[in-house]
Structure 1
Amino acid sequence: MELSLAHPAIKAFVCGSVSGTCSTLLFQPLDLVKTRLQTLQSGVQPGSGRVGMMAVLLSVVRTERLLGLWKGVSPSFARTIPGVGLYFSTYYSLKQHFFQDSSPGAVGAVLLGGGARTVAGVAMLPVTVIKARFECGRYSYGSVTGALRSVCRTEGPAALFSGLVATLLRDVPFSGIYVMFYSQTKASLSKEISTSASAPLANFSCGLLAGVLASLITQPADVVKTHVQVNSQLRTVEAIRCIYMEHRLQGFFRGAVPRALRRTMIAAMAWTVYEQMMARFGLES
């Protein structure tokens, strides 16, 4: 079936997958550095003292060469290509169903973003677990499928859904808050800007602002999620206690800079590419 004849939700899936692929390839190093920072000094990696983003980045390049910064890109692709596609197709379907004749307000935007992320987050969680393990440097999996088989064999299938609560506590609010800020800032743009050639740049700027705010609000849940997925024996409450005992409140913001950079840039680029591709199909995003 040609894409021009496909259902709008399928077109949204394709647009989302393309946008997710581009952004993941560009910003994977930031995600790896974020994961290493969050798991540092927690029994996964040795060390003492305060370690910053640049120190981790240089350490990875020195010990694993430049391509080491893209370690975990395979599970990232395995998660992002279908995951972002599923997110945008779910978002489009929900929006058409509940807001076909009107634009969603702030609360509606939160519900749309959160609903779409819930579906995509649960569906792609097993690959998210493998991705976190690839990036932390503790495991030596050869491939995504090999890692999935290894986890199922040694820890049981339930391990592939470790960190589900922390993941949803992170991703659902992030997506809801992001969509709310993004849609509201876009709505505040003048009609001249929205219809001009600079509209993609303006939309990207709105995405940057929304991404920074959403990232900072949900950062503690991201740290907890990473600890639970890297250490399969930990539960969410235990991870919270361990992080607080070791690093106090600042431990919940470890890796905030690379995560904010990555999530903000990925989300802004994904939404900009998605909206431009949907416009090419003659569909309202």
Structure 2
Amino acid sequence: MNGQSPARPAGDGITPLQQMVASCSGALLTSLFVTPLDVIKIRLQAQKNSLFKGKYYLYSNGLMDHICVCENGWTRARGHFTGTFDAFYKIVRCEGIRALWSGLPPTLVMAVPATVIYFTCYDQLYAALRMRMGDRAQEAPILAGAIARVGSVSVISPLELIRTKLQSQKQSYRELTACIRSAVEAEGWRSLWRGLGPTLLRDVPFSAMYWYNYERGKRWLCERYKTGEPTFSITFTSGAVSGSVAAIVTLPFDVVKTRRQVELGELQAKNLPCELSSTTFGVMKRIVAHNGFKGLFAGFFPRLIKVAPACAIMISSYEFGKAFFRKHNQERTLRSLPSTNT
């Protein structure tokens, strides 16, 4: 195949259900590994906001990037974090090692279905686009990655809103249902997708850059080392490098999303209307005015050390799972050949 990545679903030998199982296992492994790094990244980003200095945060998990202000006196790491390792030390010392996995269960509820939808849609779209784009097939990962991310984020967004309300206000499911019904009656169904804009501004460019660089990097490494199929080390390296590049470019939007959710968390904790007047670029201007241009890159190092291994673990686990199912399906086909011939 001239070093190109192996054919996708139609010729990949695996079903969409098997793709879902492979992405689900990858999402579980990634969530367990990167949650501590994400907690630290979110804390560092949040402290840059002068409106919330001295506040304490509940559920400061970062995989789904939600923070709430803690008003109930729970102990949280005090003082100013001077960097990634200082934040790690103070959080563990003041809150215990378990604090690094704070909010993991609700995160898994969101991250696993989002990842399953995202990776399965990407594979299906990539296969279809490569067949139709002809000479421009190398650009297929950009379009497939962007469309898959828009689809997964749009589907999961209402569930993330529900999870946010459960975390911030400790409502019962009956109270939550009444709250959502009243919000829909007052503002329409669009209220369930509040905050979708900043998420798409960060995630869609990330996905387009990530998949384009990943596919090119994987193909280049396969050609360089003359491997017919991408090995575990090739997919791991390609995922880490492409994830790092995309993370650096989209970091300002990640900072904005964190700031808006910090503000939303405080409004909810004080039972105030959850309306944030600032647009994404309005928040960027405010950050630059208060913290300078470098404020848009708050949490740079922890985001980088989180995204690189997260992307590497996720994509290599996913590719490993697909390779496992591909081999399983081939063996099953070979076993059925004699009976078919007879």
TM-score per shorter chain, which class? 0.7 to 0.9
Aligned to 2:326: 282
Quote the offset at 1:142 in angstroms: 5.0
Aligned to 1:185: 217
CA shift digits 1:246-277 (9 cap, x unpaired): 11111110011111221221111111111111
Quote the offset at 1:73 in angstroms: 1.1
Alignment of 1:28-107 (within 5 A): 28-42=35-49, 43-46=51-54, 51-100=82-131, 105-107=137-139
Q: Give the letter aligned to residue 173 of structure 1.
A: P
- In our comparison, the structure showing a higher alpha carbon Rg is 2
Aligned to 2:300: 256
- Aligned match of 2:26 in 19, 23, 33? 19
Cα separation, partners in 2 of 1:77 and 1:179, compared to 1, 3 Å: same
2:227 corresponds to 1:194 = yes
2:250 corresponds to 1:218 = yes
Alignment of 1:209-248 (within 5 A): 209-232=241-264, 233-234=275-276, 235=278, 236-248=280-292
Q: Is the 8 A contact 1:15 1:273 kept in 2?
A: yes
Quote the offset at 1:168 in angstroms: 0.6
Cα separation, partners in 2 of 1:143 and 1:185, compared to 1, 3 Å: farther
Q: Is the 8 A contact 2:165 2:176 kept in 1?
A: no
CA shift digits 1:105-153 (9 cap, x unpaired): 442211111111111112223455677899xxxx755599799669748
Quote the offset at 1:64 in angstroms: 1.7
Cα distance in 2 for partners of 1:147, 1:46 equals 31
User: Bigger shift: 125-134 or 181-190?
Assistant: 125-134
Q: Give the letter aligned to residue 104 of structure 2.
A: V
Cα distance in 1 for partners of 2:172, 2:253 equals 25
Cα distance in 1 for partners of 2:16, 2:154 equals 19
Aligned-residue sequence identity (percent) comes to 27
Aligned to 1:4: none
Q: Give the letter aligned to residue 96 of structure 1.
A: A
Q: Give the letter aligned to residue 28 of structure 1.
A: T
Q: Give the letter aligned to residue 75 of structure 1.
A: P
User: Bigger shift: 58-67 or 227-236?
Assistant: 227-236
5+ residue gaps, structure 1, are 1-6
Q: Is the 8 A contact 2:44 2:299 kept in 1?
A: yes
Alignment of 1:118-197 (within 5 A): 118-128=150-160, 152=180, 161-191=193-223, 192-195=225-228
Q: Is the 8 A contact 1:31 1:258 kept in 2?
A: yes
Cα separation, partners in 2 of 1:189 and 1:62, compared to 1, 3 Å: same
Cα separation, partners in 2 of 1:219 and 1:150, compared to 1, 3 Å: farther
Counterpart of 1:282 in 2: which secondary structure?
helix
Cα distance in 2 for partners of 1:92, 1:104 equals 17
5+ residue gaps, structure 2, are 1-13, 56-78, 265-274, 328-342
TM score, norm. by length of structure 2:
0.70
Quote the offset at 1:20 in angstroms: 0.8
CA RMSD of aligned residues (A): 3.4
Cα distance in 2 for partners of 1:148, 1:172 equals 30
Q: Give the letter aligned to residue 240 of structure 1.
A: M
Q: Give the letter aligned to residue 208 of structure 1.
A: A
User: Bigger shift: 121-130 or 263-272?
Assistant: 121-130
TM score, norm. by length of structure 1:
0.82
Instruction: Give aligned pairs, total.
Output: 274
Cα distance in 2 for partners of 1:40, 1:91 equals 36
Q: Is the 8 A contact 1:72 1:131 kept in 2?
A: no
Cα separation, partners in 2 of 1:103 and 1:225, compared to 1, 3 Å: farther
